[in-house]
Chain A
Amino acid sequence: MKGNEGKQMKVMLRGAIPRLIAGTAIIALSTASLATGVVSQAGASSKVTISVAYAANTTFDTTPLGLTWWTQVKKEFETKYPNVTVNLDAVPGGEPDFLTKLALLYHSTSTAPTLAQFPSTEIALYQSTGYLANMNKYLTTTSWFKSYPKVIQNEGKIGGKIYAVSSGENNVGLYYDKSILQKAGIALPWQPKTWADIISAAKKIKAAEPKIIPLWVDAGTSAGPNGAGYGILNLLAGSSTPTIETSSGKMVVSSKGLTQTLDFFHTVFADGLGAPTSQLFSPNNAPNIPSTDFFKGTLGIAVGANFLGGNWTKQVSFPYWAKASTAMGVAGLPKINGGGYASTLSGWDYGMSSTASAAQLTAAGEFMNVAQEQTNLIEAGNWAGWVPPVQSDWTVPLYTNFAAPFNEEFGKLLPSSSELPSNANYNVWVQGIEEASGNIAQKPSTTGAQALATMKGFVTNQLGASAVVSLP
């Protein structure tokens, strides 16, 4: 990565001594940069190296599947473009640690990855730091980007420029165990129309089978910022005031919607309808626990993300449940008083480093094209538990047959989902709401109002009164 250093010295160094070093280095390296630049414009016949950073353990359903996919894409790409070397950097750790590590990688020019894959909630953050390159010119000739639904295209669009493109999306719905609901006297196929319907179904399950967890909704902070995205934020999305961030950039710390959501949580846990905290607070990626519980027959209903369906396939085996397709049903998560479904939309996106050379960016663009080819894209979706961003893929057999019928169902539900915000204060806000939900789960006597007050106090205290707002 020699070329970029010349350009980015001023970003990297600020002290007096480093400046001296920088001065001499700039002269040496910018000549090298000119050289590479000229040759690569002449037709990419010189050697280019790009680094690609991705989450080793937490994007794909299993670490080996992730390794398989990335290795296969890298091989395909390097065969097509033999002058480019791809260095895969598999960043280990759970999601919060991956995010920390990625931020650390970006922080230093020598380690910033040319191409990285990260959650959509981080896009605005990285862009405002200046880490991301404008990708507009690399997308003009691609067919796959054009076939994204507008809402997914806009995921990475800031100020008219595209800084990130989706490689897969997550949305949320309701999973239910058909036999358990049948025993509880609930009509199948089950499609609740309001939140009250969900509660009443959960209560029926509890009455019929007291040892089973009636309803799983994520609570607490152990799953990191995404945990809320698979749990409480979906209810908020279906409440009267789904707003998390106003157009002026202020975080909402009190609203009718927040009250409704936290009250719902209070009802769930006060009536003993929720999962135990030993599961909810587990450090082993709590959002995936429902697939084990369903398999064991100890869970009735779950508010779960689309990737749960993939967990029961042979490739993922978490756990392998051949009968899942007939034993389980999928329903949309209704809005509070009916009138449709609601869900959060968040994805994993590719972003390019602003400190990479033009040759590297071009190579990275080509890498993305290979990664987004239909087969690769759908396989990524299957193995990482995403809905592919290309709408026509939702009916392709490779996708629908993988985790039937779950993949197909969640593809259908995707249009009713809405994007999560992405700004610097979001991390604190989401910590606040996760703590609020965790408090209720741990101490069910906590009312929605109490939990909201704690959340409001915490977020206001951390972000300052001018960054928050209360909606009626």
Chain B
Amino acid sequence: MVSSPVVDTITGPSLQDLWKTRHDKTRYQWSSLGLLTPTFALLILLFLVPMGFAIYLGLTNLTLIGPTAVHSSFTGTENLIRLKGDATFWSSLWVTAIFIVGSIAGVVVLGYTLASLLMRATPWMRVVVGGIVVISWMMPAVTAGMTWYASTTGNGTFGTLLGHPNANLLDAQPLLVVTLASIWSMTGFSMLVMGAALRNIPSEAIEAAIVENASTWQRFRMIVLPLLRPTMTAIVLLTGLLALANFSLIYIMTQGGPGNSTNILPLYSYQQAFTYNNLAYGALIGNVMVVIATVFGVFYVRITARRL
């Protein structure tokens, strides 16, 4: 009997695989639910319940301090109407979009470039450069934010490198600098995963293409890209979700400022909840983030389901 089907261990089986019946086991095994209990208990209590509460909370007038901190009430669509007219919210949404797209683009491009270049480099180079990139990925957000702050404000590393030691790059182009920091902190993972995927491309295919005199670009487009697509999709999804959730990195660097130029949704939600004391309104903004994350997830599932 053939053992488990050949699986792509990077991204998991496609959804078709999941629903394929196994002919050796036709019974449901309800006892398996026992194994799932701890996970689902935790998820229900500390994930679903708060999420439900967040949805409810977003429609109340609960505040952190003030008259409605202790006795709050359900206010229906009042917060939603407020959201619609909240100029800061819409600008925050826009800033978030730019931040996410920029992060994804940078992470995918840099990750692929590094992975493919490193594959053909000397072992020494692979350890050093690969190591540096992975270290930057593993660095905790607080430290990353701090080092980027130091490197991009007056007398910082980047200013000195570019010949303008006193330049305050962070103030001049806050969103750009913050996006670069975000790319810097996420490329390592992308590089690793892409590297693994590239190794799984059969070298015969590449050799055949070289024999056929295909140019580098053609090799990339015809062979590498299609085979890499599931990995790239996974990276796009992950990076997008991580960028959407980014809080500490930007909070340390700019606290959302100057003005609202780096006030992405998680920061604005925190600002509303804890600086302006509007817990309920902050929760509503958070709910918007969940909707966006869900849309991402749905897209991912659709795309991987279509995979051949």
Q: State the A residues within 8 Å of B (CB).
A: 11, 96, 100, 103-104, 106-107, 122, 125-126, 128-131, 220-222, 276-278, 281, 283, 424, 427-428, 431, 435, 438-439, 442, 457-458, 461-462, 464
Residues of A within 8 A of B257 (CB): 220-222, 281, 438
Is residue B154 within 8 Å, beta carbon to beta carbon, of the partner chain?
Answer: yes
Q: Is the interface of A mostly helix, strand, loop or mixed?
A: helix
Q: A129-B65, A278-B154 are in contact. Are A427 and B277 (CB under 8 A)?
A: yes
Chain A residues within an 8 Å CB radius of B88: 458, 461-462
Task: Please name all residues of chain A whose beta carbon is closer than 8 Å to the beta carbon of B259 when the two chains form the complex.
Answer: 435, 438-439, 442
Q: Give the CA-CA distance A458 to B276 in the complex, in Å.
A: 13
Contacts of B63 in A (CB 8 A): 424
Q: List, in ascending order, chain B residues with CB within 8 A of A457's CB.
A: 87
Q: How far is the CB of A222 from chain B (nearest CB, A)?
A: 7
- CB within 8 A of B66: which of A96, A125, A439, A461? A125
B17 within 8 A of A: no
Q: What CA separation (Å) do A130 and B275 show in the bound complex?
A: 19
20 A-B contacts (beta carbon < 8 Å): A11-B70, A104-B64, A125-B65, A125-B66, A129-B65, A129-B66, A129-B70, A221-B255, A276-B154, A277-B168, A277-B171, A277-B258, A278-B171, A424-B277, A427-B275, A427-B276, A431-B275, A435-B259, A442-B258, A462-B86
Give A431 to B70 CA distance when docked, in angstroms.
25
A96 vs B275: C-alpha distance in the bound complex, in angstroms?
7
**Neighbouring B residues of A221 by C-beta, 8 Å:** 255, 257-258
Indicate whether A129 sits within 8 Å of B69 (C-beta atoms), given known contacts A277-B171, A438-B259. yes
Q: Considering the complex, which residues of chain B in the window 134-179 have a beta carbon less than 8 Å from any beta carbon of chain A?
A: 149, 153-154, 168, 171
User: What residues of A have a CB within 8 angstroms of the CB of B274 in the complex?
Assistant: 100, 103
Residues of A within 8 A of B258 (CB): 220-221, 277, 281, 438-439, 442
Q: Mark B254-292, 1 if CB is under 8 A from A, else 0.
A: 010111000000000000001111000000000000000
- A107 contact set on B, CB distance < 8 A: 64-65, 69
The reply to whether B67 and A278 contact each other, CB–CB distance below 8 Å, is no
Residue of B66, B70, B255, B275 touching A424 (CB-CB under 8 A): B66
Q: Is B85 an interface residue (CB 8 A)?
A: yes
Question: A residues within 8 A CB of B255?
Answer: 221-222, 283
Chain B neighbourhood of A424, CB < 8 A: 63, 65-66, 277
In the complex with contacts A277-B171, A281-B171, A283-B255, A128-B67 CB distance below 8 A: yes
Q: Which 9 A-B pairs have the closest CB atoms?
A: A278-B154, A129-B69, A278-B168, A129-B65, A100-B274, A424-B66, A103-B64, A103-B65, A125-B65
**Which B residues touch A438, using CB under 8 A?**
257-259
Q: How far is B82's CA from A447's CA once the two chains are assembled, in angstroms?
A: 29
Name the residue in A96, A283, A457, A458 with the highest tally of chain B Cβ atoms < 10 Å from its Cβ.
A283
| Residues of chain B contacted by A129 (CB below 8 angstroms) | 65-67, 69-70
Q: Which residues does chain B contribute within 8 Å of A442, judged by CB atoms?
A: 171, 258-259
How far apart are the CA atoms of A11 and B85 in the complex, in Å?
33
